[in-house]
Structure 1
Amino acid sequence: MKLSDFDYELPEELIAQTPIEPRDMSRLMILHRKTKTIEHRIFRQIIDYLRPNDLLVLNNTRVIPARLFAKKNESVIEVFLLRKINESLWECMVKPGKKVKPGDELFFDDFMAICIEKTQQGTRILKFNVTDEKILSKGNTPLPPYIHSKVSLDRYQTVYAKVDGAVAAPTAGLHFTEELINQIKNLGINIAEITLHVGIGTFRPVKTQDITQHKIHAETYHIPPQTVDLIKYTKQMKARVIAVGTTVVRALEQYAIDGNTDGETSLYIYPPFEFKLIDAMVTNFHLPKSTLLMLVSAFAGHDFTMQAYREAIKERYRFYSFGDAMLIL
């Protein structure tokens, strides 16, 4: 398949700039893969589609305040923390990149960093002279570039976020409230967690027309033993493993391939792909030509996915991180 097969035109006013309140009042499009039919609901009505012994798998990663601003001479440099390497080193994106070379010093309010290296991917390795706690105390919410409103870091987290490390939210989970999660548990539906720290690689544009030539950056993940046990139990009960978000899909399908519950995944899912573990998924509406849209197309079918996106645009759904959701069954 070509990159152009995953393109669509989205009116700018459908890019959600603020989250819906309460969280579970966003819209929910239901995609039935077998019958190729579509329903339109509200997110809290997801409970109507869940059955006892189903397993809902959540990503409990927590977004860090990864966006900082530094000065170099008279220039303001945006520093976006991507990945902690060791005690003092971070891999970062810097803007404007041409102003930051190895050996350059960047000054924040009351600490500084030295650029140690420029990587092949164009990122920078920065050596800081203070602790992570100090660095992050100066950080801002790392909202995607298409969001122009100010949103607090708390609202850019899922209600079950626990483990610091993501530079973007696993947005499919933003629709859940604590009350809705309790309702789901009370229906006899199991809930398990994994951790996959969302990195910037997920959002890097695909630049090759031949989609198979694209490479995804690795992201670290952890699947706890109790989650593995619940997955096995769910399969034994002939119930469904339902992934909340593309990050959960990638972690679980990586585990299905190699049996590793800890490590890094650069699993790139595009049509055709044989899913070994997940039976249904919750996801938001993704950018054109993105690896996330390719993953959804691999699961729901390319033509059905693109049909659903056309319908979402016609029905004025809200798109992207703070937008509405779909449940693919």
Structure 2
Amino acid sequence: MRTADLDYELPERAIAQTPVAPRDSARLLIDLGPKAEPLDERVADLVNFLLPSDLLILNETRVLPARVAVLRHGGGAGEVLLLQPLGATDVGDTETGDNEAGSTESPESDAEGWWEALCRPSRKLRIGDQVVARSGELSFEIGEDLGEGRRKVRPIYKETLLQALELSGEAPLPPYIHERLNDQERYQTVFSQRPASAAAPTAGLHITADLLERIASRGVEILTVELVVGLDTFRPVTTELLEEHQIHSEWYRVPKQTWEQVQLAKIEGRRVVAVGTTTVRALESAAMYGQLQGRTRLFITPGFNFAIVDLMMTNFHLPRSSLLAMIQAFIGPRWRSLYSTALERDYRFLSFGDAMLLHRVPELASSEEGEHEAQA
């Protein structure tokens, strides 16, 4: 597939700079298939589009306050943004992660303490240098250059890394957000648990405790997975062909209880509703690799055979992105008409923007794919 097929014009005015309040007042575009006009609703109305037999699955990861303002030796200012611990192995490789649900494997640390980080200004840093956080008691030893502004760094702290980061760091906002976020909790979901991610699972930002209570009262079972979101989620696909893109890996965990209920739902013909592309990636990775946790490089592109997810609630994504490739895999090229409709109706796009609820109809997605290729 040509990456250009995932391109569209996104006006700057459509990129939401701040979240709405309350969270579930965000707009929700309901996809009803290629032969019907999508509905304009609010996230608060999501409960009306769920069945009592549905499973609703959330990504419970929490954003790590991983962006740290630092001072270099000699007083120059800089920044360290922790991305992921080094030394982890991808699912499907010879050495795999523990597959037992409830394992305490953590993506926050490894045996030697080295992390991959974005450092600024990377070119002025030398191996062995130490940079010190502007506040708190955290410093970093600089390691080898990994390219594209990325370095190996080793955090040095007194208690735990999380405690040090809470004093010295802040959550990293996406590069297209230019306004300062006064309340850092607005870039966390209300159901977030373990801090580990470099970015929020943004579809979940719309969910409120009250909405979850109303969904549960309807009879819907609410379950969780954990996928640690990396900053590469914002990275555009730059290769001419989508298949040539090197997808980033992310750590995921599907609790045993969640997996058992998902399997039962599939056997009984009940729907699995995923909140966010990260939840989709975790569930489909578990199905494809047969492992409940590990690092995944699953790249969901058109033609992918979804084993688990039937409905997806998701935000509107960047042009030429791996996330948009997943959307086309899920509903076919009709995403174009949905995005056009959303822009015409002044929906807000990207992380702090509005959302859509997509229904996967396999035969429709594949037939639309064929029609699109015939016209190309």
TM bucket, shorter chain: over 0.9
TM-score, length-scaled by structure 2? 0.84
Give yes or no for the alignment of 1:102 onto 2:103: no
> What secondary structure sits across from 2:169 in the alignment?
coil
- 1:128 alignment counterpart: 155
- 2:169 alignment partner in structure 1: 139
Deviations 1:147-198 (A, max 9, x none): 1222232110111000210110000001110000000000011111000000
For 2:256, the equivalent position in structure 1 comes to 225
Following superposition, the deviation at residue 74 of structure 1 comes to 4.2
Residue 160 of structure 1 aligns to a residue whose secondary structure is coil
After superposing the two structures, state which structure 1 stretch, 45-54 or 89-98, moved more.
89-98
Aligned residue in 2 for 1:27: 27
Equivalent residue for 2:117, pick from 92, 95, 98: 92
Q: Do the aligned residues in 2 keep the contact of 1:202 with 1:216 (CA within 8 Å)?
A: no
How far did 1:35 drift? 3.8
- SS at 1:119 equivalent: strand
Looking at structure 1, the residues matched to 125 and 323 of structure 2 have their Cα atoms a distance apart, in angstroms, of 31
In structure 1, the residue matched to 2:346 is 316
Contact 1:15 1:319 in 2 (8 A): yes
Pairwise CA RMSD: 1.6
Distance 2:324 2:126 in 1: 35
More displaced 10-residue stretch of structure 1: 264-273 or 119-128: 119-128
Q: Which residue of 1 aligns with 2:99?
A: none
- Secondary structure of 1:253's counterpart equals helix
5+ residue gaps, structure 1, are none
Q: CA deviation at 1:205?
A: 2.1
- Report the Cα offset of residue 4 of structure 1: 1.2
Separation (CA, whole Å) in 1 of partners of 2:35 and 2:54: 21
Partner of 2:40: 40
**CA 1:120–1:196: 2 relative to 1, 3 Å:** same
Matches within 5 A, 1:48-197: 48-72=48-72, 73-85=74-86, 86=110, 88-109=113-134, 110-119=137-146, 122-130=149-157, 131-132=160-161, 133-151=163-181, 152-197=183-228
1:319 & 1:277 partners in 2: Cα distance? Answer: 27
C-alpha distance in structure 1 between counterparts of 2:246 and 2:208, whole Å: 35
| 1:198 aligned to which of 225, 229, 235 | 229
Identity rate of aligned residues, in percent?
42
- 8 Å Cα contact 2:120/2:149 also seen in 1: no
SS in 1 for 2:328: helix
Aligned residues: 328
